[in-house]
A and B are shown apart, each in its own frame.
Chain A
Amino acid sequence: MRRRVAVTINGTSYEHEVEPRTLLVYYIREQAGLTGTHIGCDTSNCGACTVEIDGHTVKSCTMFAVQADGAQITTIEGLAKGSTLHPLQQAFWDEHGLQCGFCTPGMIMAAKQLLDRNPSPSEREIRLGLEGNLCRCTGYHNIVKAIQAAAKVMAPGAEAKAPASVS
């Protein structure tokens, strides 16, 4: 019954035997041990499990692990380069774009694709782009600000922003 799955997550190869019914999010969390991808619902509404698969943003609870066989996957743990945060991670920190932090990994992964597709979105475009990700703490106000701030830093020609200190 068990099926073999091989994937690359954040540049590391993983290969495991899984039950065919195993959802990708459980594979990422339990087999690969990457628990930054969260599970917040069972109907693909909340977006806490959002990851990037072969360049596309996907809610990893909507796929079976076996469907991801051979895929290149990026999770929240794959965004920072060494001790330098990804501009979106930095902007969420700078702009207080998170409180409890549970939706944050999925929110940042969704925002990444939003900016990949539209490097300078309007506030309305950001809000529409986040419709698949629920946050109960922030009212989205500072999430929108964070994505606007990240867009400026990530815009072609913008200088990479140095990691900010505590104050």
Chain B
Amino acid sequence: MAISQMVGASIKRREDPRLVTGTGSYVDDLPQTAIVHMVVVRSTDPHARITGIDTTRAKEADGVIAVFTGKELLSEFGAPLPVTDCFVPTKKYPKHYPLAIDKVRYVGEPVAIVLASSLSAAQDAAERVEVRYESLPPVVDIEKAIEKGAPVLHDEVGSNLSYDVKFAAGDIEAAFREAEVKITQRLIQQRLIPIAVEPRGVVADYRTWARKLTIWSSTQIPHFVKVWAAVILGIPESDVRVVAPEVGGGFGSKIRVYPEEILTALASRRLGRPVKWIEDRGENTKATHHGRSQIWDVEIAAKRDGTVLGIRPTQWLDLGAYCSQFGTFQVLGMLVAQGAYKMKAFDGRAVGVFTNRTPTDAYRGAGRPEATYLIERVMDLVARETGVDPVEVRRKNFVRVEDQPFTTLLGLTYDSGDYRITLDRALQMVDYQGLRREQAEKRKQGKYLGIGLSTYIEICGLGPAVPTQAAVGVSLWGMSVVNVHFTGKATVIIGSSPHGQGHETTYAQVAADVLGIPVEDIDVQHGDTAIGPMGMDTYGSRSTALDGNAVHISAMKVQEKARKIAAHLLEAAEGDVVYEGGKAYVKGTPSKAVTIQEIAVAAFQTSRLPKGMEGGLEATTFFDPTNFVWPFGAHIAVVEIDAETGATRILRYVAVDDCGTRINPMVVDGQLHGGIAQGIGQALFEEAVYDEAGQLRTGSLLDYLVPTAADLPSFELEATITPSPVNPLGTKGIGEAGTIASSPAIINAIVDALAPFGVKDVSMPATPEKVWQLMHRNGGTKR
């Protein structure tokens, strides 16, 4: 079937034939010759002084090549692991090296590495490394961590408090004076384990005489890893190449420079052989960062008609044992907590503390799920307290389309959006009034139906360079190279680093429309720092808004050069030549066209080019947009609570999302499906549980409940399209929207179902036991 316009077409993904046949290569699948296997000895104690490490017996074991401890390698670390500003430049944090030096601070912290000729030899020898610990009392509770007399993790910080900062605007005191309704609520963002189905893995190969280092890593950020591996290892950046081959999911968990990327490289340099480390799942649950782990306290000032006047939220963020590279990115939750609503005042406080647990960092949404959970729970709490329908509370407080571009109290400017349209459509899809009647009927029969709304907005497309430099400490932009070959086929190189998002397909669609080259003749390459300029990689729903648009702009530059070459070939004035559908011709005479193939040949047979024009048909773009992009949508969950067991069954899940232009609607919907499932996972199932001794009790997939197919319904999706005005394609982001929206929709639905029991809140995960307890706390009596 011929498709005249590729942008907007749900074509099948070109990534898939290799993946459905098992012939894609993830890190563990790469061919290996003379490889050395690395096993990391990890701390079993959450907080202890290391009084000695005896590696003698390990070194004597069969097949062992070397064993290294932190003290032995300290002099080779040119810098500690990186930490970015991420909204809190004033925070205090300790130096963090890839191996513990004299103290361990969480279970799973790397203590030593064992290198052997086989994986089993390395595993056996790792058990013979004797680490002597002098245990210290662990800190495993956010609030207790900053109590007087709490054991201190980092002497160089002086206490377990990293920062305590305000994000405030408007007169909050006046808002509370005006308030007819005041509500105080604590909301828990439980600690989550990301669980990409492919754990992390690294192969590092340092060629001694060539002085070149190659790192293959299951990472979202090959370009960042290249920079930091060079800095930490003291190798010129030009001699470091990082490749992210097939990457089996990330969800933020592969967004930072990890100790193992440095340790494999360092070991390879020492040994002169390639070194491989593959994380097992037991390690993954402790050594790969966790997400969320926050307490939010909020005070709400509202009027009896449902108008929200102001909120006073405090975010208590558990950084874990160290400050991870983007650990305080989660403070973004405070900056966007105003959501889709107008209010008069916002008085936020963000506090970060250290505990003896795995460091936290970005996990799908990173700050935005927390913000959305807060403000969408606020809307429902106000609805409950005032008796105004939750739909009306939202409509009353919405930013209106005539307010766009709307600037929030904290100074962020939304790009576009009429938030009523997605809500109205979602309400129609579920037949909201009909559902309310059904709910009333069912309550009479002792059945508990709940309807939960979430009308989210999201900041993504990180981002314009100036604000991201100021806020995060990194200038973010999109990058592409578009290169038309001699035969008229094209290669596109992108700065994003997909790991399931389908950029190879969707960015070919973008280039195909501009160049008029068949989409199957456009190859999209990524994930290898040697093939193109610096890129800013993939996270934060940024790729299509940045790199996707960079592809469009590079293709436009190439088109313009092609048009100039064509004018020369046609002996026509440049201004008279148009380029369309892979051909250029003089206006009005499309029959006498030169094709992109003919133009490409001329571009390399440079004697045929206009005087002074360089050869080649290639363009590079570093795209820096004027603003972030702000997708929005309305999600509605319909649930029924089993009165006998407290189990929640999702009867329907309806979502209307607006992410601007959809390059490939099939791929967009796929992102939403997975995102919604992850948010449901947080709402109902997932929690990283530590005991008081600081041991992780959910360190395997037996104990940590990732949703299965049987736990989830099929989703009902529709879209509205409000193109973003800040990039040429009009795209916004969609990778995290589902996760951001779905947790509050589910919890609002459960609380709604439990209204007859006087329940105003249930904390995540809303397990059957927790729900049953709430239903029976007053002996099961209804109010």
A residues near B, CB below 8 A?
19, 21, 29, 34-43, 45-46, 48, 75-77, 79-80, 85, 89, 92-94, 96, 98-105, 108, 123, 126-128, 130-131, 133-144, 164, 166-167
Given that A76-B22, A92-B20 are contacting pairs, would A135 and B197 also be in contact in the complex, using a CB cutoff of 8 Å? yes
Asked if residues A142 and B248 are in contact (CB atoms below 8 Å), the reply is no
Complex Cα distance, B281 from A144, in Å, reads: 26
Interchain CB contact (< 8 A) of B199 among A40, A43, A133: A40
Asked if residues A138 and B674 are in contact (CB atoms below 8 Å), the reply is yes
Complex Cα distance, B268 from A58, in Å, reads: 37
Given that A43-B281, A137-B500 are contacting pairs, would A93 and B12 also be in contact in the complex, using a CB cutoff of 8 Å? yes
Interchain CB contact (< 8 A) of B197 among A34, A48, A130, A131: A48
For residue B641, give the distance in angstroms from its CB to the closest CB of chain A.
20
Asked if residues B706 and A140 are in contact (CB atoms below 8 Å), the reply is no
- CB-defined interface of B666-682 with A at 8 Å, one 1/0 digit per residue? 11011101111110000
* B178 interface hit (Cβ, 8 Å): no
For residue B512, give the distance in angstroms from its CB to the closest CB of chain A.
11
Since A138-B673, A164-B12 are in contact, a sample of 6 more A-B pairs with Cβ atoms closer than 8 Å, ordered by chain A residue number, is A46-B281, A76-B20, A80-B21, A85-B20, A103-B197, A141-B673
* B398 interface hit (Cβ, 8 Å): no
Complex Cα distance, B19 from A46, in Å, reads: 17
Interface centre among A40, A48, A104, A133 (most CB of B within 10 A): A40
Interface centre among A34, A45, A77, A80 (most CB of B within 10 A): A45
Asked if residues B709 and A143 are in contact (CB atoms below 8 Å), the reply is yes
Interchain CB contact (< 8 A) of A134 among B278, B676, B701: B701
> B199's closest neighbor in chain A, by CB?
A40
Complex Cα distance, B500 from A14, in Å, reads: 33
Interface centre among B197, B499, B502, B702 (most CB of A within 10 A): B197
Asked if residues A45 and B20 are in contact (CB atoms below 8 Å), the reply is no
* B210 interface hit (Cβ, 8 Å): no
Given that A41-B701, A43-B702, A99-B501 are contacting pairs, would A139 and B676 also be in contact in the complex, using a CB cutoff of 8 Å? yes
How many A-B contacts at CB < 8 Å in the complex? Answer: 191
For residue B482, give the distance in angstroms from its CB to the closest CB of chain A.
20
Given that A35-B29, A42-B282, A141-B715 are contacting pairs, would A166 and B21 also be in contact in the complex, using a CB cutoff of 8 Å? no
Given that A40-B281, A96-B667 are contacting pairs, would A167 and B248 also be in contact in the complex, using a CB cutoff of 8 Å? no
Asked if residues B670 and A96 are in contact (CB atoms below 8 Å), the reply is yes
Asked if residues A35 and B25 are in contact (CB atoms below 8 Å), the reply is yes
Main secondary structure of the interface of B (DSSP, over half): loop
* B11 interface hit (Cβ, 8 Å): yes
Complex Cα distance, B22 from A38, in Å, reads: 9
Asked if residues A127 and B22 are in contact (CB atoms below 8 Å), the reply is no
Given that A134-B701, A140-B677 are contacting pairs, would A126 and B709 also be in contact in the complex, using a CB cutoff of 8 Å? yes
For residue A113, give the distance in angstroms from its CB to the closest CB of chain B.
15
Residues of B within 8 A of A100 (CB): 196-198, 246-249, 499-500
Complex Cα distance, B560 from A67, in Å, reads: 65
**Residues 1-57 of B at the A interface (beta carbon under 8 Å):** 1-3, 9, 11-17, 19-26, 28-29
> B23's closest neighbor in chain A, by CB?
A36
> A91's closest neighbor in chain B, by CB?
B20
Asked if residues B710 and A131 are in contact (CB atoms below 8 Å), the reply is yes
* B714 interface hit (Cβ, 8 Å): yes
- CB-defined interface of B155-184 with A at 8 Å, one 1/0 digit per residue? 000000000000000000000000000000
- Can you pick out 29 interface pairs between chain A and chain B where the beta carbons lie within 8 Å of each other? A19-B120, A29-B29, A35-B22, A35-B26, A36-B21, A36-B23, A38-B198, A39-B28, A40-B248, A42-B281, A45-B702, A76-B21, A77-B22, A92-B16, A96-B670, A99-B500, A100-B198, A101-B500, A103-B197, A105-B22, A134-B708, A136-B196, A137-B500, A138-B670, A140-B677, A141-B714, A142-B673, A166-B520, A167-B12
Residues of A within 8 A of B20 (CB): 76, 85, 89, 92-93, 98, 101, 104-105, 108
- CB-defined interface of B304-321 with A at 8 Å, one 1/0 digit per residue? 000000000000000000
Complex Cα distance, B713 from A123, in Å, reads: 10
> A76's closest neighbor in chain B, by CB?
B22
Asked if residues A167 and B3 are in contact (CB atoms below 8 Å), the reply is yes
Asked if residues A130 and B710 are in contact (CB atoms below 8 Å), the reply is yes
Residues of B within 8 A of A141 (CB): 673, 677, 712, 714-715
* B280 interface hit (Cβ, 8 Å): yes
Residues of B within 8 A of A105 (CB): 20, 22
Residues of B within 8 A of A35 (CB): 22, 25-26, 28-29
* B700 interface hit (Cβ, 8 Å): yes
Complex Cα distance, B20 from A75, in Å, reads: 12
Given that A39-B28, A105-B22, A138-B674 are contacting pairs, would A130 and B709 also be in contact in the complex, using a CB cutoff of 8 Å? yes
Asked if residues A101 and B16 are in contact (CB atoms below 8 Å), the reply is yes
* B251 interface hit (Cβ, 8 Å): yes
> B742's closest neighbor in chain A, by CB?
A139
Interchain CB contact (< 8 A) of B13 among A93, A102, A133: A93
* B683 interface hit (Cβ, 8 Å): no
* B195 interface hit (Cβ, 8 Å): yes
Asked if residues B197 and A46 are in contact (CB atoms below 8 Å), the reply is yes
Complex Cα distance, B19 from A92, in Å, reads: 10
Asked if residues B12 and A94 are in contact (CB atoms below 8 Å), the reply is yes
Interchain CB contact (< 8 A) of A102 among B26, B676, B707, B709: B26
Residues of B within 8 A of A140 (CB): 673, 677, 708-709, 712
> B2's closest neighbor in chain A, by CB?
A167
